[in-house]
A and B are shown apart, each in its own frame.
Chain A
Amino acid sequence: MNINSTSNIHSGDIVYEETLSGREHLVRGGLDFTDITRIVCRMPEIPLLKTPMSWVIGFIFAFSLMIIFFGCIAYLIWEGTGIWGNAAPVYWGWPIVNFVFWVGIGHAGTLISAILFLFRQKWRTSINRYAEAMTVFAVICALVFPGIHVGRIWTVYWMFPIPNQMSMWPNFRSPLLWDVFAVGTYFTVSSLFWYVGLIPDVATLRDRAKNKISKVIYGLLALGWRGSMRHWVHYERAYLLLAALSTPLVLSVHSVVSFDFAVSQLPGWHATIFPPYFVAGAIFSGFAMVQTLIIPARSLLKLKNIVTIKHIENMNKIILLTGSMVGYAYCMEFFIAWYSGNEYESFTFINRAFGPYSWAYWSMVSCNVIFPQIFWFRKCRTNIYISFIISIFVNIGMWFERFVITVTSLNRDFLPSSWRYFTPTLFDALFLIGSFGLFLSLFLMFIRYLPVIAISEVKGVMPQADPHKK
């Protein structure tokens, strides 16, 4: 084991070099297998009454926001969709923006879990469980919004092809219906993938469980995992298959969500750049959300050696890449709007930048394109404070991007007589905040009771896992 002090970035960090590849070890601090298990299983095994105060405060906060969310939904069902700011011609407002925002966030998790798995990027192992959980919970939050933004929530099941008394199929030409299938599929596959990946780790928890309840619950969840070679073979195969299934979903789901806009006729929506632009944006915002969640978690849960600065740096690189792609898409939209010679198209883009919503547009551009450029500098992308701050900005910027796309194209479209400014009401804000409450509640429960890191996979990338190692 060489302690190579010139290649470590942070003094005090013990970084080991791989003997063969020359790359540094992914897990720092000279940990071995039992250390990993101990570190990761520490949080789930804390007895209920000794739950750390920081978690309790966080959970109370998130839970109260969630209660507000459900209360608002009840009020919405009672009163009607008029409690939001939607009005002619802006028939889609914050709920749809929130929907696209949450669905987009989910894509990072699937990319980390599935695509990076297929590309054999070993560094994904520390963050994939976490990111995958984020995906599942983000998709849950996302699925709530199209369900409640409809005028008649009690009939929303008509979008599903279920036999009914009207003998009606849903309309397969509609992008909203494609959404139903795409996001539904995404939810199903992501949940499966996440759950299947969890099985060995939950089995670890089951084996280490001290009290009866933990044993029973973890035992149920572990589905009788014995850790035998046969189980591992099946597991690896299933994992590979699910990864292969999830990979196209990363690209297709948000493309389908972008069709909600691209298939319509509105200038500013009707653009072929939308599918790749949205997918890039989704990955961008998803990674930012992963950063936002993992940077505090790794210090609070004492995971600094497993989720290292290298992981943070890699994620920042992806953020920089996708942010630049999004920036390129903005430029292309402008260019095509001018090049097309279409009066309505050019007006829409000038309106976006200089019209009544220019404040939203420039927030979006600065948060999405300008701020992440700071990651060109190594010092910045390995600094956790800057990473955290930029990730928050990126989240805000990406929310604004969906807002700008949805609202500015609607508020000034073909006929000037129907132009009208959209202002959100209190309930728009409460729904957005409440959805964060739902997300955080679920996420905090995950942190508390399930292993946040894929124990078996991390072990697989440690030097000790190499059978030829001495």
Chain B
Amino acid sequence: MQKKIDSQNNQFNSVYKFYRREALQLMGASLALAGLSVSCRRPVEKIIPYIRQPELIIPGNPNYFATAIMLNGNAIGIVVESHEGRPTKIEGNKLHPSSLGASDSHMQASVLQLYDPDRAKSPTWNNSSSTWSRWKKWLEEKTIEWNNKNGKGLAFLTTNSNNPTSLRLQSAIQEKFPNSKWFLSSDFSNNNKEKGTYEIWGEGTRVKYNLDKASLIVSIHDDFLILGDDHLRHAKNYAKGKLLSKNKSNRLYVIEADTSVTGSNADNRLALGANDIIYFMESLCYELFVVNNLNNEYFKTSKNIFKLLFPNTKKIVFSNHKFVKALAVDLINNKSKSILTIGNHLPSSIHSLVHIINIALDGLNKTFNILDIKTSEYYNRMINTNSFNSLLDKIENKEINELFIINSNPVYKFPFIKKQIIKIPTVITMGIYKDETGSISDWHLPTSHFLENWDDGVSYDGTTSIVQPLISPLYNVYSKNEILYQILYNGEIKDAYNLVRDTFWKKKLIKSDKEWNLTLHDGLIKNLNYKTIKNYLSIDFSSLSLSLKRMNKNKLSFDNLELICKEDYSISKGEYSNISWLQELGDPITRLAWGNALLISPKLAKKYNLSTQIKEMKYETDIVSISIKNKKIYAPIFVLPGLPNYSMCISMGYGRTHAGFIGNNIGVNIGVLLNTDDKESILGVKIKKTVKKYNLSAIQIQLAVNSDCITNVDKLHLGNRDIVRSITLKEYKTADLKKNSLLKNLKHKEGVLNKPIQVTRPFIYDKNAWGMVIDLNLCIGCSFCVIACQAENNIPIVGSKEVKRGRAMHWLRIDRYFIGPVDNAKNVHQPVACAHCENAPCEAVCPVAATVHDKEGLNTMVYNRCIGTRYCANNCPYKVRRFNYFDFTNSGDLYVDPKSLERRKTLQMQYNPDVSIRYRGVMEKCTYCTQRIQEAKLKAKRNGNDSNNMLDGTIVPACAQTCPTNAITFGNINDKSSNVYKLKNNDREYEMLEELNIRPRTSYLIRISNPNLELI
């Protein structure tokens, strides 16, 4: 027994022995483990301040520089925000007539293009990396040849871009090598507009619309609010005319073959195929000139204009005669205050016809001006330029040895010419990207981005700007002008700055350094633009009537379908394919992102048994084959109410193969089917249903239409929800808008904006009280504000797959709803962002109080406190909160894959340093640009001013700043003199979902449409 007890004691002892040795072992082990944990910290990144601080740069304070961007060959003035020498945001230039403070999505996204890692970084020769010195050697050899033959075999393919220095150098090259050939890059809108004014006013003229002087605007296939020359100015002017008073508002008629944004804003719209426009014009001319006897002394004839234009017409055959009659009467009633605008791609004879009507309506020098480009300082347009087709002929005849392709991508636009291009002995491409053409060229010379180097540009109305760089070239690139200079002077290098200065100094347009600095400061040369002309040629009616007669074709029908290739709203004709922001920006009407689709009308869909359906998570649609003659491609369709019955639309710019990481293999390239002489409306198109289906990526998936689509659009779930309120002008005059409003009897007490939220202790906002009003009447649905918000607030891109799941991160979205029956569906657009509700449903439910209300009324999102339960997003009735489901910004501190790391190096330079980057698992939403509010308040405090009494307009959020129609107004509601206060007290003001008592600080103004009562 004792033995047993002893052994048990020994066991006990051995288990519990813990003397010095064991203690030391334990201490050593914990020290070692602690060391391990210390080495597992995040990598240390040091921030180093300036040792020698450059002039004007105070770290943390941005600088703003004025420059200009070329869009569609014309310059638009911009102001670029630069942080520590890096351009981060592009905004409009208030002083520039083409911008007037607004900017569009391409302008906003071009800052990302600067930092695109897929840019061409160094010259390549035969697809392998080369150097500029080797290029110089090659050029020197070739120059000897060219000198001997005066440039025989040398050819240039350029665009019509209005840069004075480039034009100067190009004509100098043309002079030096007289046998060289110059070709203009083919574009559907090639010269139609110019030919149209040429017929009446001669060479070197162009039309400039003054929409603010018009109370009646008729757009014939012209998406003037969003696309085309001067669209920002047009949008501003259009907005000016909307709701001038309670009784007056301008009226917009749109006749179009696609569903454009301008069409969605129309008060009266006619869907008409491009092929059938001639019948419409004929009918309109009949109504105006015959029925209403319109004439004008300008024409210098007493004969009936209609007989001069359409001498052979016996009977008018136009199905929608009622529309034309009403339109004609309206035009006559608004004589000298009406304007017809016409889209670039329609034939030049229709352009001339429209000008004639505009003259007859007495609009010259009122609603439109004719600008004279000839007399400008830089009128040295491609004097001896030939068309693109002649280039192909010359290649066939082996007349081209060296072809320079400047900023153009013909191999993508018309893939069939690849065979031709390869035949040319040497092809030299110049461009930012090594695109489809660059991949088969011999030399690819990378050019600099406009933010990197000096240049100049002329806007549509002649305003000249100097393009000044904001950052040194990121890569081993030269600007286009520098390369042209090298070609001109045998490889000699002169930097772009001097080239541009030479242009202006030589012509004595800038005479002193003081003027130069002022130009750079303002972003334009003062008092330098095209003059309007007063004289006119006599109109050759006979030749015009002949060309009109030639346009008489068969009407569109199921056997005669037309295909319209339109410029994409986001990526234009393919130049912007590699910019992720633009790929993810949903099309304003279809709401599709990351790809294009063939848009067809419900009637056509029914005939071919095609449908677009929401099938569970998929936005499923049929794939059809599109064939023109013997070429065929496959594309997904999208059924869209509002399209004319026999017209189909598809966007250009997709289906690229050498765009870069983002843009490759997205969508379908319609260029495969096209010929260089195709007009934008192509006939003889056949479609055929295949068994395959496609899953569309869309930002918003509601309101697709399926093939047995006689469903009333009202049933498409908008129902009785008065989320978007829209009434006609007639109703507005007599309606009591606040009749059913729950807030009708509440008076605004001083400092207390609304009824107290709870019975006890209302919070008094007596300092700043930020609020916003969005005028649905002015919102045209362009989505430029969305991109501006993305640029300003470092909003990440999620990619096509995640967009399909609905995880797009845009803080501000433009909702598009259809109203009315399917055969006459109208679109409405509504921008929705966080409304900063005073009684916010999201704030109550966050378990960690990561979203709280501040004293100025902002609902603040505290990223570092958020644990990501997502209850706030569930409770938000507007669903404006966005969650980072994955590490979309690739900022993960544990591991980032090498490819993303490489791409991130330049892309992260675009980030706005005033806005934190959100990691995954964190919720984010619109902050009313709180960084701008803070900046303004701090600035006021530094200057000794009262930060609670800032002038209205000191703080402008990115969305309000970019909006071309000024639909978004932001400010301090407590300031009685502010615009936002006035709008909050406007009778049209309403809150969305006001019955929930959430008291949003963002309210809306009811949309007032002004349709022609005879056409309703």
Interface residues of A, Cβ cutoff 8 Å to B: 78-82, 85-89, 91-92, 146, 149-153, 155-156, 158-159, 166, 168-171, 173-177, 180, 260, 263-266, 343-344, 347, 356, 410, 412-423
Alpha-carbon distance A152/B701, docked complex (angstroms):
29
Q: Is the CB–CB distance between B721 and A414 below 8 Å?
A: yes
Known contacts: A343-B721, A416-B817, A423-B617. The answer to whether A168 contacts B887 by CB under 8 A is no
User: B879 contacts A166, CB within 8 Å?
Assistant: no
Which secondary structure characterizes the binding site on chain B? Answer: loop
Q: Which residues of B contact A152 (CB under 8 A)?
A: 866-868, 919-922
Chain B residues closer than 8 Å to A422, beta-carbon distance? 617
CB-based nearest B residue for A356: B616
CB atoms of A158 and B867 under 8 A apart: yes
B interface residue numbers (CB < 8 A to A): 614, 616-617, 700-703, 716-721, 723, 802, 805-808, 813, 815-817, 830, 832, 841, 844-849, 865-871, 873-875, 877-879, 882-887, 894, 919-923, 993, 996, 998
Q: Closest CB-CB distance, A125 to chain B, in whole Å? A: 40
- Chain A residues contacting B920 (CB-CB under 8 Å) are 80-82, 151-152
Q: Contact: B867 with A174, CB < 8 Å?
A: no
In whole angstroms, what is the CA distance A89 to B874 when docked?
7
Find chain A residues with CB under 8 A from B723 CB. Answer: 414-416
A371, B977: Cα distance in complex, Å: 68
Q: List chain A residues, Cβ under 8 A from B816.
A: 417
Among B841, B874, B887, the residue within 8 A (CB) of A92 is B874
**A266: chain B residues within 8 A (beta carbon):** 874-875, 877
The answer to whether A264 touches B873, judged by C-beta atoms less than 8 angstroms apart, is no
Contact between chains at B844 and A174 (CB < 8 Å)? yes
A150 touches B993 (CB 8 A): no
Q: How far is the CB of B815 from chain A (nearest CB, A)?
A: 4
Contacts of B721 in A (CB 8 A): 343-344, 414, 416
Q: Select B877's contact among A166, A265, A343, beta carbons within 8 Å.
A: A265
Q: Which of A343, A344, A414, A415 has the most CB of B within 10 A?
A: A415
Expressed in whole angstroms, the minimum distance between the Cβ of A347 and any Cβ of chain B is: 7
Cβ–Cβ contact A88 & B882, under 8 A: yes
Distance in Å from the Cβ of A351 to the closest Cβ of chain B?
9
Contact present for B807 and A82 (CB under 8 Å)? yes
Q: Is the CB of A410 within 8 A of B848?
A: no
Which residue of B is nearest A343, CB measured? B720
* CA gap between A416 and B869 in the complex, in Å: 24
Can you identify 30 A-B contacts, CB atoms within 8 angstroms?
Answer: A81-B885, A85-B617, A87-B805, A88-B883, A89-B873, A92-B871, A92-B874, A149-B869, A150-B921, A151-B883, A152-B922, A155-B867, A159-B848, A168-B849, A168-B865, A171-B844, A171-B846, A174-B844, A176-B871, A264-B845, A265-B841, A266-B875, A266-B877, A344-B721, A410-B874, A414-B877, A415-B832, A416-B716, A416-B723, A419-B701
B926 to chain A, nearest CB (A): 14
A151, A158, A168: the one contacting B922 at CB < 8 Å is A151
What distance in Å separates the Cβ of A263 from its nearest Cβ neighbour in chain B? Answer: 7
**CB-CB nearest 5 A-B residue pairs:** A151-B868, A151-B921, A82-B885, A417-B815, A171-B849
A91 with B883: in contact, given A152-B867, A169-B849, A416-B721 (CB under 8 Å)? yes
Tell me the smallest distance from the CB of B157 to a CB of chain A, in Å. 44
Q: Known interface pairs A151-B866, A419-B702. Does A414 touch B878 (Cβ–Cβ under 8 Å)? A: yes
B894: nearest chain-A partner, CB-CB: A78
**Distance in angstroms between the alpha carbons of A168 and B851 in the assembled complex:** 13
Given A92-B870, A420-B617, 15 new contacts (CB under 8 A): A80-B920, A81-B868, A87-B805, A151-B867, A151-B883, A151-B885, A152-B919, A152-B921, A171-B844, A171-B849, A263-B844, A264-B875, A343-B719, A344-B721, A420-B701
Closest-by-CB residue of B relative to A412 is B717
Decide: B887 and A80 in contact? CB cutoff 8 A.
yes
Query: Do the beta carbons of A88 and B879 come within 8 Å of each other?
Result: yes
**Residues of chain B with a CB closer than 8 A to A415's CB:** 723, 815, 832, 877-879
Distance in Å: Cβ of A266 to nearest Cβ of chain B: 7
Distance from A393 Cβ to chain B, minimum over Cβ atoms (Å): 24
> For the complex, what is the distance from the CA of A366 to the CA of B125, rounded to whole Å?
72
Q: How far is the CA of A131 from the CA of B460 in the complex (A)?
A: 81
- Taking a contact as CB atoms under 8 Å apart, the answer to whether A80 and B886 are in contact is yes
What's the least CB distance linking B604 to chain A, in Å?
A: 26
- B877, A91: Cβ atoms closer than 8 Å: no
Min Cβ gap B724→A in Å is: 10
How far is B905's CA from A355's CA once the two chains are assembled, in angstroms? 47
B869 → A minimal CB distance (Å): 5
A80 touching B879 in the complex, CB below 8 Å, given contacts A149-B869, A159-B847, A176-B869:
no
> In the complex, what distance in Å separates the CA atom of A381 from the CA atom of B143?
101
How close is A272's CB to chain B, nearest CB, in angstroms? 17
Query: In the complex, how many angstroms separate the beta carbon of A358 from the nearest chain B beta carbon?
Result: 12
Minimum C-beta distance from B899 to chain A (A): 17
CB neighbours of B844 from chain A (8 A)? 171, 173-174, 263
A33 to B869, CA, bound (A): 52
Q: Smallest CB–CB gap between B1000 and chain A, Å? A: 13
User: Does A80 contact B921, Cβ atoms closer than 8 Å?
Assistant: yes
- Determine how close the nearest CB of chain B comes to the CB of A169; give it in whole angstroms: 7
Q: Is the CB of A87 within 8 A of B849?
A: no
How many Å lie between the Cα of A170 and that of B871 in the bound state? 14
The answer to whether B867 touches A150 (Cβ under 8 A) is: yes
| Residues on the A chain within 8 Å of B716, using CB | 416
Task: Contact check, A91 vs B874: say whether CB atoms are below 8 A apart.
Answer: yes
A168 surroundings in chain B (CB, below 8 A): 848-849, 865
Q: Which of A82, A175, A421 has the most CB of B within 10 A?
A: A82
CB distance from B507 to the nearest CB of A (A): 53
Within 8 Å by CB of A413, from B805, B849, B865, B877, lies: B877
- Cα–Cα, bound, A394→B530 (Å): 80
Q: Which of A169, A174, A413 contacts B871 (CB 8 A)?
A: A174
B886→A82 contact, CB < 8 A: yes
Within the complex, the shortest CB–CB distance from A367 to chain B, in Å, comes to 21
Cα A431 to Cα B815 with chains together (Å): 35
Please measure, in the bound complex, the distance between the C-alpha atom of A420 and the C-alpha atom of B998, giving whole angstroms.
Answer: 24
Given the complex, which residues of B lie within 8 Å of A92, measured CB to CB?
Answer: 870-871, 874
Contact B847–A177 (Cβ < 8 Å)? yes
| A-chain residues with CB within 8 Å of residue B845 when the two chains form the complex | 173-176, 263-264
Residues of A within 8 Å of B865, CB to CB, are 158, 166, 168
- Hey, which chain B residues are within 8 Å of A264, CB to CB? 841, 845, 871, 874-875
B848 and A413 contact, CB distance less than 8 A: no
Q: How far is the CA of A10 from the CA of B403 in the complex (A)?
A: 100
A465: min CB distance to chain B, Å: 40
Chain B residues positioned under 8 Å from A171 (CB to CB)? 844, 846-849
Bound complex: CA A416 to CA B718 (Å)? 7
When distances are taken between beta carbons in the complex, the residues of chain B under 8 Å from A343 are 719-721
Contact A417 B702 (CB under 8 A): yes
Assembly CA distance A352 to B832 (angstroms): 26
What A residues does B701 contact at CB under 8 A?
419-420
Kindly report which residue of chain A lies nearest to residue B716, judged by CB atoms.
A416
Query: Bound state CA distance, A149 and B874, in angstroms?
Result: 14
Q: Which A residues are in CB contact (< 8 Å) with B866?
A: 151-152
Check A150–B702 contact: CB distance below 8 A.
no
A85 contacts which chain B residues (CB < 8 A)?
617, 805
In this complex, the member of A92, A174, A263, A413 whose beta carbon has the largest number of chain B beta carbons within 10 angstroms is: A174
- Across the interface, A417 reaches (CB within 8 A) one of B832, B846, B849, namely B832
Shortest Cβ distance from B721 into A: residue: A343
Chain B residue numbers with a CB within 8 Å of A150 are 867-869, 921
Separation of A82 and B805 alpha carbons in the complex (Å): 10
Contact A265 B886 (CB under 8 A): no
Which B residue sits closest to A180, measured CB to CB?
B847
Nearest-neighbour CB distance to chain A for B353, whole angstroms, equals 41
| Complex contacts, B996 vs chain A, CB 8 Å | 265
Question: Which residue in chain B gives the minimum CB-CB distance to A261?
Answer: B874
Rounded to whole angstroms, the CA-CA distance of A48 and B701 in the bound complex is 59
Across-interface contacts of B884 in A (CB, < 8 A): 80, 151
> What are the residues of chain B within 8 A of A423 when measuring CB–CB?
616-617
Min Cβ gap B544→A in Å is 47
Are B922 and A87 within 8 A (Cβ)? no
The residue among B719, B883, B921 with the most chain A CB atoms within 10 A of its own CB is B921
